[in-house]
RNA sequence: GCCCCGUUCGUCCAGCGGCCUAGGACGCCGGCCUUUCACGCCGGUAACACGGGUUCGAAUCCCGUACGGGGUACCA
């Protein structure tokens, strides 16, 4: 294949969401796979939508994901002169005309004529003069049809009599998406248009304009299956929380998110799902992309993110997780315990939940269920804690193996004395961490230190007594 | 309403006429490991929407039905 040129062309309507990110990714994958170029174009034809803030909301997440573009961003708002020329060309060639009718006018005329709702070329022969508030409409051929050969869906054909003469220039003079799309894709030499299926219906319109403008061979099209929510509806910014910024804030790794997104609508032939992006690039193929919509499952995303987190070296992990840690955390301690934390979290934001007990002065709150189980119902819990104080008082706290052995020794000794199994780790854990579940105690205790260990045991004993 | 698209385990993906008594992953269930929680390992659960064709042979091709979705704007 000749080096393709593809583009990601979002409208700056607020934040970037995962559906858009997936479209960007598939364009990027296709470009990288075939040694082509990836162009970024902001479709801000509607002036009211344009805002630097919204542009940042597109660019920043793309950078974070690592979807680097080779050209752009281009802004349609800065290319109006090109659209004006194209529109004039269509008017001069009799392919477009002025119209001053409102939606209500059109609706009334349709009703009076007994036709279906829609615009039925009402102003085609009215010779409306251009002016403020006057739009330009494209004259869709009465007969025939327009077909596209979609790389994913095959032939899609739409009869012209089902397409109304659509607006290509608004009353305020700004171009509409269809027109700007055709002009830009032609001007930028786009060879493949890869986007969501929600745009499939617009493609014949763009192709009609393309032909009317004498642009020659149009780009190849590929319409990706939609990403849907649990109700199988198209992901919506309103209903669904899908902002890329949220995934960033929750502590997903960009590589993991990209890997997960690549698996929606596409799968590698060897069925190995979690793998480096370089491999995905070399395996990627547009032709085998699925046709059915896909539900973006957060549970699976978390699994993938966990896999990526576990693969980090301790140093890498500390660097990645640092933004989620309170400033008073000792990063050296975090690094030493990294592996234990990594296997327990699916997002970076969960890390403090496993570490916080190491960086506070005392336990202010105990998990009641764990307390009851280990302290109240746990056999001889107070005896265990009392004995533990005895052995730990003289322990140098520099050897995790020794701390572990000493703890179990207390449990075993009491088991023998009482003739029933006595657990020593459980009450110690609750006393030190306030919780019944957590990372292994022993190495962590060397960082917690003797002083805090003994004071926490004392606090637990007095709570038990009270 | 009209136009367009789609339909393999609960979810995501593999399958592109015989290798399929349909494979992998997530989830779920069970077990091993473990004096916490996890990780890891082992095993199990579960699907070709339905009906007609075509063919020696169909999850794979064709038609229809049902269901789902998208579009129908001076949004993109």
DSSP code, position A235: P
Q: Taking residues A356-379, what's their average pLDDT?
A: 95
Work out how many domains chain A is built from and give that number: 2
Question: Which of A111-120, A320-329, A351-360 has the weakest average pLDDT?
Answer: A111-120
For residue A348, is it within any domain? no
Is the pLDDT at A48 greater than 70? The verdict is no
Cα maximum dimension of chain A: 106
- Does residue A49 register a pLDDT over 70? no
Whether residue A29 lies inside any domain: the answer is no
Q: Kindly state whether residue A443 falls inside one of the protein's structural domains.
A: yes
- Specify the pLDDT at position A301: 98
Q: Within window 54-83 on A, which residues have Cβ closer than 7 Å to strand B?
A: none
Tell me the pLDDT tens digit for each residue of A198-217: 999 999 999 999 999 999 99
Which one of A173, A196, A224 terminates a domain?
A224
Q: Secondary structure of A282-344 in the HEC alphabet?
A: HHCCHHHCCCCCEECCHHHHHHHHHHHHHCCCHHHHHHHHHHHCCCCCCHHHHHHCHHHHHCC
Q: How do residues A295-313 score in pLDDT, each as one tens digit?
A: 999 999 999 999 999 999 9
Question: Which of A224, A256, A284 represents a domain boundary (last residue)?
Answer: A224
Query: Using 50, 70 and 90 to split pLDDT, how confident is the model at A139?
Result: very high
A378 within some domain? yes
3-state SS assignment for residue A248:
helix
Q: Is residue A110 part of a domain?
A: yes
Cα torsion for A246, A249, A251, A255, to the nearest 10°?
A: 60
- In the predicted model, what is the mean pLDDT of residues A60-70? 96
Examine residue A28 and state whether it is found in any structural domain, yes or no. Answer: no
Last residue of a domain, which of A224, A250, A281?
Answer: A224
Please list the active-site residues of A.
Answer: 237
Q: Please tell me whether any atom of strand B lies within 7 Å of the Cβ of A104.
A: no
With pLDDT > 70 as the criterion, what percentage of chain A qualifies?
A: 99
**Residue A241 pLDDT grade (very low, low, confident, very high; cuts 50, 70, 90):** confident
What is the predicted pLDDT for the residue at A237?
A: 83
Q: Which nucleotide is nearest to A345 (CA to C1')?
A: B38
pLDDT for position A124: 95
CA of A230, C1' of B11: distance in angstroms: 10
The answer to whether A428 touches A441, Cβ cutoff 8 Å, is yes
Residue A428 in any domain: the answer is yes
- The pLDDT value recorded for residue A326 is 97
A158 touches strand B (CB under 7 A): yes
pTM flag (> 0.90): yes
Q: Which nucleotide is nearest to A76 (CA to C1')?
A: B76
Average pLDDT, chain A: 95
- Domain with A392, as residue range(s), is 360-465
Q: Which nt sits closest to A422, CA to C1'?
A: B35
Which residue lies nearest B34, CA-to-C1' measured? A440
Q: What is the pLDDT of residue A46?
A: 66
Q: Which nucleotide is nearest to A161 (CA to C1')?
A: B3
A13-46 residue pLDDT tens:
888 999 999 999 999 999 999 999 999 999 987 6
Interatomic separation, CA of residue A334 and C1' of nucleotide B2, rounded (Å): 62
Mark the nucleotides of strand B covered by protein, meaning any atom under 7 Å from a CB: 1-8, 10-16, 23-27, 35-40, 68-76
Distance in Å, residue A94 CA to nucleotide B70 C1': 32
Does the residue A58 lie in any domain?
no
The CATH number assigned to the domain holding A208 equals 3.40.50.620
Element (H or E) spanning A77, and its range? none
- CA atom of A388 to C1′ atom of B69, Å: 64
A75 vs A50, higher pLDDT: A75
């Amino acid at each position: 294949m000749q080096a393709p040129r593809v583009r990601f062309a979002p409208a700056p309507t607020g934040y970037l969401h995962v559906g858009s990110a997936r479209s960007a990714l598939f364009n990027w994958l296709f470009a990288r796979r075939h040694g082509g170029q990836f162009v970024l174009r902001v479709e801000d034809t509607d002036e009211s939508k344009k805002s630097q803030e919204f542009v940042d909301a597109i660019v920043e997440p793309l950078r974070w994901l690592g979807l680097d573009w080779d050209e752009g961003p281009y802004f349609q708002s800065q290319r109006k002169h090109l659209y004006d020329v194209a529109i004039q060309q269509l008017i001069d060639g009799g392919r477009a005309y002025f119209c001053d009718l409102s939606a209500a006018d059109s609706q009334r005329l349709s009703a009076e004529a007994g036709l279906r709702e829609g615009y039925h070329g009402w102003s085609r022969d009215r010779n409306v003069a251009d002016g403020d508030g006057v739009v330009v409409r494209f004259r869709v051929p009465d007969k025939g049809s327009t077909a596209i050969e979609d790389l994913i869906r095959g032939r899609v054909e739409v009869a012209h009599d089902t397409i109304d003469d659509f607006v290509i220039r608004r009353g305020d003079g700004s171009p509409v998406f269809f027109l700007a799309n055709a002009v830009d894709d032609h001007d930028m030499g786009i060879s493949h248009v890869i986007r969501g299926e929600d745009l499939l219906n617009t493609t014949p319109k763009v192709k009609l304009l393309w032909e009317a403008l004498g642009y020659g061979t149009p780009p190849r099209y590929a319409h990706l299956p939609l990403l849907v929510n649990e109700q199988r509806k198209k992901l919506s910014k309103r209903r669904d929380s899908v902002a890329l910024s949220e995934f960033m804030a929750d502590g997903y790794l960009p590589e993991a998110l990209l890997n997960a997104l690549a698996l929606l609508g596409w799968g590698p032939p060897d069925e190995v799902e979690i793998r480096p992006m370089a491999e995905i690039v070399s395996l990627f193929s547009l032709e085998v992309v699925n046709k059915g919509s896909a539900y973006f499952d957060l549970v699976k995303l978390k699994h993938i993110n966990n896999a990526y987190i576990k693969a980090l070296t301790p140093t890498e992990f500390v660097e990645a997780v640092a933004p989620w840690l309170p400033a008073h955390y000792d990063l050296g301690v975090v690094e030493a315990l990294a592996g234990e934390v990594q296997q327990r979290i699916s997002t970076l934001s969960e890390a403090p939940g496993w570490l916080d007990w190491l960086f506070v002065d005392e336990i202010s709150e105990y998990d009641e269920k764990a307390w009851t189980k280990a302290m109240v119902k746990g056999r001889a819990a107070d005896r265990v804690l009392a004995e533990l104080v005895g052995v730990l008082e003289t322990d140098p706290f520099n050897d995790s193996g020794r701390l572990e052995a000493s703890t179990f020794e207390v449990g075993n000794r009491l088991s023998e004395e009482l003739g029933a199994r006595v657990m020593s780790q459980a009450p110690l854990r609750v006393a030190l961490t306030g919780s019944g579940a957590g990372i292994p105690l022993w190495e962590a205790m060397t960082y917690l230190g003797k002083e805090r260990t003994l004071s926490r045991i004392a606090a637990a004993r007095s709570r038990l007594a009270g």
